[in-house]
Structure 1
Amino acid sequence: MAILDVASDARPGHAQGSGSSRSGRRRPSGERIAQWLFILPAVAYLALFFGYPIVQNVVMSFQEYTTKTFYTGEAPWVGFANYVTVITSSLFPTTLINTALFTIGSIVGQFVIGMALAIFFNRRFPLSGVLRALLLLPWLLPLIASTAVWKWILDQDSGILNQTLLFFHLTPHAVPWLSSPDVALVSVILVNIWLGIPFNVTILYGGLQGIPDELYEAAALDGATGWKAFWNITWPNLRPVVSVVLVLGVVYTLKVLDIILGLTGGGPANATQTLATNSYHESFVLFSFGTGAAISNILIVISLIFTAVYLRLNRRPIDE
């Protein structure tokens, strides 16, 4: 009987404890509503300013969308005709190769120089803060102003770069930096590297600041200094930051438009014509909005493929 009494007394208590634990796990409806209210502005912003333009751009790429459509309101559905026109165009291989060269050259130059400067500024020395602030100027200046200055610097006849090279007899004649198909793309890449260095330095410098000094001190006791310390301590701890820098850099560089338009306009002889500039030319010069939308969608797909592949390949090493 005593056992039964104890069991009968334990059951309600156990049931009550179980019910209280379940109710403890349940969040009040008011708290969940508050969570959704905080998320709702961000969701609305993304849907309005990112989701709707992308969907509209995809729909437009399947239509014959021209200036006439703005007056009639009717755009004939042409299916994949715009994509076929773009891919079969004689200009498409050129723009694809130029886009790849422009992106790879810019990312490599920006990252290498940015990493070197980040490591340099990570060391404490007088006026390091002032120099870091001055390094941000290319990032803060309006792109139109920066492009205009660089166009004057690279001018073949009166540009300061050619004048300097000729003064020191480093070249026998003035170099047509922006007017020659052989060097125009290189010139545009150099300007884009100059503009992207502050971003790389800022992000990489922040990552370096997060690495404890104790790791370097312990490694120095074992004789790991210089390049050994970089490969065994700096690089493994900086890999997550490097992934962010490279992904954002590639996505941004693929869609660069204003720099190329300001310097060369896509010329000479389409030497600096990329997918981004070709999309702009089709949409706002030839007013073939359907074709321009198709080119921009191809550019979006390329960005998504690169991001997915890169993050997939680097996820395991970063986790390790």
Structure 2
Amino acid sequence: MKHRTKIFGNESVGYFFVLPALLFMLAFIGYPIINNIILGFQNVDVMTFNNEVKEFVGIQNYIELFRDDILRAAIPNTLIFTVGSIIFQFVVGFALALFFNQNFTFSKPVRGLLMVAWMIPVTVTALMFKFMFGANGGIINEFLMNLHIISKPVEWLVYSGTAMWAIIIANIWIGIPFNMILITTGLSTIPGDIYESANIDGASRFEKFFFITLPMLKESIQAVLVLGFIYTFKVFDLVYVMTQGGPVNATEMLSTYSYKLSFTEFNFSKGASVANILFLILFVVSLFYLRLVREEEVM
């Protein structure tokens, strides 16, 4: 009995529960990542895809890619798109979370309705905004012309200067509910006694916000920003449906460029290399987040 208790103790039972998830991740996440990394060091295209022995080229794919003007445009485009989206998503989502955290009639139903923007498939949202920003009959042009801000329809998705802003606005609309619900969850964990004590001490709304709300939402804010960065940085369907990376690579992202190399030009090794660059950036961001979490736990 003692031996059985040792083998099937609480700690061992926990490993058995984790094992299915671990096997799933190794099969459907670990293997593709490792295979993609190996593919990035080989020369595989449509002519050599079925060869049993693939040519090893080392870092030649990466050297050629970093000499490529498209990749050098895709990296800053992805960063601009990500940072621009996150800033507005977070600010508006935070404001809505504070607003709907108040007890008033219909606060919960309206908050639930706002989640529809996040629940709609991204491809549907992309098509909707593509029509909205269209030059002929687009609601954006109609609205701005009725306000006499513009005199004629603007080709928002055709010009390099406006196409990026169009996809950022579309992504902001998608991401606001995600930010709102996570921050609302964080707000619900703050004990009301703290605010009552602050009211007794005569603290103003600004003092309660900066000295109580923000410090106690630190972990939630970190999680929202990091998850938002990861989800936004690897965006594909929204950009591909709205602009396909155009015009003239103005909205080309790492994900869309990887797709084009792999499934349009059939240069699978270079497509995998771009995907590996994307993975490496997100991996570094994830390590940074884990370090912040570990430091918070130690403190």
Provide the TM-score with structure 2 as the length reference: 0.94
Q: CA deviation at 1:310?
A: 4.7
Residue identity in the other structure for 2:196: E
Q: Quick check: 2:125–2:170 contact (8 Å CA) kept in 1?
A: no
The correspondence for 1:243, drawn from 222, 226, 230, is 222
The answer for the alignment partner of 1:183 in structure 2 is 162
Q: CA deviation at 1:232?
A: 0.5
**Structure 2, unaligned runs of 5 or more:** none
The answer for the alignment partner of 2:268 in structure 1 is 289
Matched, 1:202 2:217: no
The answer for the alignment partner of 1:77 in structure 2 is 56
Distance 1:299 1:127 in 2: 42
The correspondence for 2:76, drawn from 91, 97, 109, is 97
Q: Quick check: 1:243–1:311 contact (8 Å CA) kept in 2?
A: no
Q: Quick check: 1:239–1:318 contact (8 Å CA) kept in 2?
A: no
Q: CA deviation at 1:317?
A: 6.1
Q: CA deviation at 1:299?
A: 0.9
The answer for the alignment partner of 1:146 in structure 2 is 125
The correspondence for 2:94, drawn from 105, 115, 136, is 115
Residue identity in the other structure for 1:171: I
Q: CA deviation at 1:108?
A: 0.7
The answer for the alignment partner of 2:40 in structure 1 is 61
Aligned residue for 2:269, secondary structure, equals helix
The answer for the alignment partner of 2:241 in structure 1 is 262
Deviations 1:100-148 (A, max 9, x none): 1011001111111110000000001111111011101111111121111
Aligned residue for 2:25, secondary structure, equals helix
Q: CA deviation at 1:188?
A: 0.6
**What is the 5 A alignment of 1:4-15?**
none
Q: CA deviation at 1:306?
A: 2.4
Residue identity in the other structure for 2:228: G
The answer for the alignment partner of 2:6 in structure 1 is 28
Aligned residue for 1:108, secondary structure, equals helix
The answer for the alignment partner of 2:287 in structure 1 is 308
**What is the 5 A alignment of 1:130-145?**
130-145=109-124
Distance 1:302 1:208 in 2: 31
Matched, 1:170 2:170: no
Residue identity in the other structure for 1:291: K
The correspondence for 2:16, drawn from 15, 37, 41, is 37
Deviations 1:172-194 (A, max 9, x none): 33222111101100111110111
Count of residues in Structure 1 that have an aligned counterpart in Structure 2: 297
The correspondence for 1:158, drawn from 95, 113, 137, is 137
The answer for the alignment partner of 2:202 in structure 1 is 223
Percent of aligned pairs with the same amino acid:
38
Deviations 1:149-188 (A, max 9, x none): 1111110221011011101212233222111101100111
Q: CA deviation at 1:65?
A: 1.3
Distance 1:211 1:205 in 2: 10
Residue identity in the other structure for 1:283: S
Residue identity in the other structure for 2:135: Q
Q: Quick check: 1:153–1:159 contact (8 Å CA) kept in 2?
A: yes
Residue identity in the other structure for 1:41: P
**Structure 1, unaligned runs of 5 or more:** 1-22
| Shift in CA distance, 100/39, structure 1 to aligned 2, threshold 3 Å | same
- Which deviates the most, 309-318 or 115-124? 309-318
Distance 1:170 1:301 in 2: 43
